Amino acid sequence: METLMSFQKLRIFLTALSATVGASTGIAHAVDVSVLYLERQVQRPPTLSVLDAVPDDLGRAGAELALFENTATARFLGHTYTLDTVVVGVEDDFSDAITKALADGHRLIVANAPADDLLTLADHPNAKDALILNGTAPDDRLRRDACRANLLHTIPSRSMLADAVTQFLVKKRWADWLLISGEGPGDEEYAAALRAAAAKFNAKIVEEKIWRFDADMRRNAAQEVPVFTQGKDYDAVLVADEIGDWARYVLYNTWLPRPVAGSEGITPVAWSPVIEQWGAAQLQKRFADATGRGMQSDDYGVWAGLRAIGEAVTRTKSADPATLRAYMLSQDFELAAFKGRKATFRAWNGQMRQPIPLVHSRAVVAQAPIEGYLHRVSELDTLGQDEAETDCTAF
């Protein structure tokens, strides 16, 4: 509530100013942009550690910040933004909720929802002429065979994340891996992305293990992990543990003195509170001032979705989803994404091209693409499925 209040205050402040500023500029062409923030809540499985509570406004806070930023630009142009929020509870019927939202006329949607729900939304008969920005679902299939023409992605895919950390590890010559994956949601997909990345960049998985311990690792990690990580020699331990359940107990408890990467240790992310270069400090400050917490990847993905709409509206002076989509996929689009390079969209599957920071809890270690990985079009396209390998046919 605190969050919403402070964003609201900012907005009222801006609205009050817009009348005077807009009138005096003389370049006003009224465009009224209505955007839906659609969140599907999910049941989160319990984790061993209770240290990291998932914020209630994860994702939504990114939308609020982007609305503030879009509005700040819009008032100089005579444009306005309205953000409606629909949150569908775990037990609620998702189809009913989107049918109603689409009936209300929403055609610009920034989504914080799992892959299956996104597909339900994208395939809804009334969503044909909509533009949906996926701000949180990293599933590769949404960018591949299950891609949809009306669905663009601002959050990086798992393969982009896996490629990013792999480039770094191979460059460091930590190319022989022990891969440990969990059985939580997304872990197998993450492990698959790491396997594919290893094949792509010539890393080698010398051994794979599945994490099946169900003991409380806060007490037992020191005893269990050394034995568990014994075996063949490896340069690094790669962990696939998307919900942050057990991998934190692997660090410094491995049999061999080796770095940990993936879901813990050196972690590829869309965003993290430790990013401060390239003007990011300003974005972090705006976010922290409004929410009292650090900005996470899901906040960033949603933020980037609404900011991308904002950039496209500003440049095209239109709120028509087809016009905005065409502009976003064109070469003219650019979003200053606070990662040192402009973010653009891949025309073949709607994925936002962006650097991937590799972070630990206190600092940025490196940022992919790592120097030396070349590409004929953009080095950013060394991360994730490239045009030549795509099996997305909707674009």
Partner 1 sequence: MRFLLPVFLASFAVPAIAAEAWVTNEKDDTVSVIDIETQEVIKTYDTGERPRGITFSRDYSRLYICASDSDTVQVMDPETGKILHDLPSGEDPEQFALHPDDRLLYIANEDDAITTVVDTVERKVVAQIQVGIEPEGMAVSHNGKIAVTTSETTNMAHWIDTESQEIFANTLVDSRPRHAEFTADDKRLWVTSEIGGTITVFTVEDQEEIAKIDFEIKGVRPERVQPVGMRFSPDGKLAIVALGPSNHIAVIDAETFEVKKYILVGRRVWHLAFSPDGSKLFTTNGVSGDVTVVDMDSLQAVKTIKVGRYPWGVAIRP
What does the per-residue mask of binding to partner 1 show for 263-292, with x meaning CB under 8 A?
----------------x--x--xx------
Q: Which stretch binds partner 1 (CB under 8 A): 71-79, 142-150, 171-179, 233-241?
A: 71-79
The residue among 156 and 186 lying less far from partner 1, judged by its C-beta, is: 156
The residue among 17 and 199 lying less far from partner 1, judged by its C-beta, is: 17
How remote is the C-alpha of 173 from its chain's centroid? 28
Q: Does 395 bind partner 1 (CB under 8 A)?
A: no
Q: Does 377 bind partner 1 (CB under 8 A)?
A: no
Contacting residues for 253 by C-beta, under 8 A, at least 6 apart: 221, 222, 225, 226, 229
Structure-block tokens of residue 273:
């509170």
The residue among 141 and 341 lying less far from partner 1, judged by its C-beta, is: 341
The minimum distance between CB 341 and partner 1, in angstroms, equals 4
The minimum distance between CB 182 and partner 1, in angstroms, equals 36
Q: Does 342 bind partner 1 (CB under 8 A)?
A: yes
Q: Is 88 helix (H, G, I), strand (E, B) or coil?
A: strand
Q: Which of 200, 315, 330, 360 binds partner 1 (CB under 8 A)?
A: 315
Q: Which stretch binds partner 1 (CB under 8 A): 82-90, 175-183, 209-217, 329-337?
A: 329-337
Q: Which of 31, 77, 170, 275 binds partner 1 (CB under 8 A)?
A: 77
Contact 174, 235 (CB under 8 A): yes
Contacting residues for 51 by C-beta, under 8 A, at least 6 apart: none
Longest CA–CA span in the chain (Å) reads 72
What does the per-residue mask of binding to partner 1 show for 6-45, with x meaning CB under 8 A?
-----------x---x--xxxx------------------
Q: Does 83 bind partner 1 (CB under 8 A)?
A: no
Q: Which whole-number Å values give the CA distances from 185 to 43, 230, 299, in the listed order?
A: 11, 26, 20
DSSP state letters, 19-84: HHHHHHHS----EEEEEEEEEE--PPPP-S--S-PPPTTTTHHHHHHHHHHHHHHHTTTTEEEEEE
Q: Does 334 bind partner 1 (CB under 8 A)?
A: yes
Rounded Cα distance, 328 and 137, in Å? 19
Q: Does 314 bind partner 1 (CB under 8 A)?
A: yes
The residue among 68 and 348 lying less far from partner 1, judged by its C-beta, is: 68
The residue among 194 and 335 lying less far from partner 1, judged by its C-beta, is: 335
Rounded Cα distance, 113 and 118, in Å? 6
- Whether residue 114 has a cis bond before it, omega within 30° of 0: no
Strand partners, 352: 345
Binding stretches for partner 1 (CB under 8 A): 17, 21, 24-27, 69, 72-73, 76-77, 279, 282, 285-286, 311, 314-315, 334-336, 340-342, 378-380
